[in-house]
Structure 1
Amino acid sequence: MKVIDTEIVDVKIIEPTKFGDERGFFMETWNQKQFESLVTKKPTQFVQDNHSKSKQGILRGLHFQRENTQGKLVRVISGEVFDVAVDIRKNSATFGKWVGIYLSAENNRQLWVPEGFAHGFYVTSEEAEFVYKCTNYYHPESEVSIAWNDKVLDIKWPISGSPLLSEKDSNGIEINSL
């Protein structure tokens, strides 16, 4: 496992080691001991795994929970997305900063999005399947969506035209209203 630092110290890119030959490949996508020693530097427990499938042009996010905050280890198993983590920790030196990377079935990269961050992704391929581990359970009553096009955040999404959004994401709030 290779861990790559990003512009935000707590957000990490993880590249699993992949072994392949003419028969196919093998890669370890999760190892508790390595994750805690190389990524979080503390005990980390995942309690829920999620899997979504989306068509090209769909943007999901930027989501977070006010209660039952979640850390997420995200990856793509089919297709490609542009994945974004936004620091929403008000006392952080990087509050309002974001990290964006391409995750795909080809590059096998994963992104660690710690608690205290909003998360979203935009599907750049014909469709994409997205899987992620969560450190806390989904709590719909406390879920918040930040506007994907918030002018303060100024995220450089790889979008031409308007993305396809859920009603919740169409009504996202501005980061300054947190």
Structure 2
Amino acid sequence: MKSIRLAIPDVVLLTPNIFGDDRGFFYESFNHKKFEEIIGRSVEFVQDNHSCSSCGVLRGLHYQVNTPQGKLVRVTCGEVFDVAVDLRRSSETFGKWVGAILSAENKQQLWIPEGFAHGFLVLSDVAEFLYKTTDYYSPSDERCISWRDKDLGIEWPHLADVGEPTLSAKDAAGLNFKLAETYP
């Protein structure tokens, strides 16, 4: 597996070694030992999630206070633009974001450690999004930052093609970054 640390070095883009022939393909999507060697620390995943969304759906920017989640995310059908926002006040990259195109075709994954908000925009007709988390979902701890926050200035690709994104009520009510709870 190849890895690239993005502009926020704690966020890592992973590209698996893919073995294909006329029957199809095979790749190892997760190996705990190799994963920990790449990110340089011990990680325990406790929950797997799977969502399916149509073109133009934007989910996020989500995070949990008190029970922060690290996430290993990937797409098995379709394509998304995936975003991580650093919410760690002690970090040199506090308030910065990074993004990557994840798709069934490129089979890349993104490691987003605890202390980040996360979201994605579906660019294909449909996308199936899978992710592992390092802590359990806790509705009382869940928070949301507005996807269009001007201070963050996230450059969502293809919005002109998609139009106004489709949001849940929770995501439409996301707070401005300046009002968001953050981490030490």
Same fold (TM > 0.5): yes
Q: Deviation of residue 54 (structure 1)?
A: 0.1
Q: Percent identity over the alignment?
A: 58
Contact 1:55–1:128, Cα closer than 8 Å, also in 2:
yes
Unaligned runs of 5+ residues in structure 1 are: none
Q: Deviation of residue 91 (structure 1)?
A: 1.4
Aligned residue number for residue 17 of structure 1 = 17
Corresponding residue SS for 2:63 = strand
Corresponding residue SS for 1:152 = coil
Aligned residue number for residue 8 of structure 1 = 8
Q: Deviation of residue 73 (structure 1)?
A: 0.2
Q: Deviation of residue 114 (structure 1)?
A: 0.4
Aligned residue number for residue 133 of structure 2 = 134
Contact 1:67–1:139, Cα closer than 8 Å, also in 2:
no
Aligned residue number for residue 164 of structure 1 = 166
- Between the aligned partners of 2:171 and 2:38, the Cα distance in structure 1 is 34
Aligned residue number for residue 146 of structure 1 = 145
Aligned residue number for residue 34 of structure 1 = 34
Aligned residue number for residue 76 of structure 1 = 75
Deviations 1:35-59, CA, capped at 9 Å, x for gaps: 11112x1110000000000000000
Corresponding residue SS for 1:151 = coil
- Amino acid paired to 1:8: I
Aligned residue number for residue 92 of structure 2 = 93
Corresponding residue SS for 2:140 = helix
Aligned residue number for residue 44 of structure 1 = 43
- Amino acid paired to 2:178: N
- Between the aligned partners of 1:60 and 1:107, the Cα distance in structure 2 is 21
Aligned length: 177
Deviations 1:54-88, CA, capped at 9 Å, x for gaps: 00000000000012110000000000000000001
Deviations 1:80-102, CA, capped at 9 Å, x for gaps: 00000000111111011001110
Contact 1:55–1:126, Cα closer than 8 Å, also in 2:
yes
- Between the aligned partners of 1:174 and 1:151, the Cα distance in structure 2 is 8
- Between the aligned partners of 1:111 and 1:169, the Cα distance in structure 2 is 22
- Amino acid paired to 1:12: V
- Amino acid paired to 2:149: D
- Between the aligned partners of 1:134 and 1:38, the Cα distance in structure 2 is 17
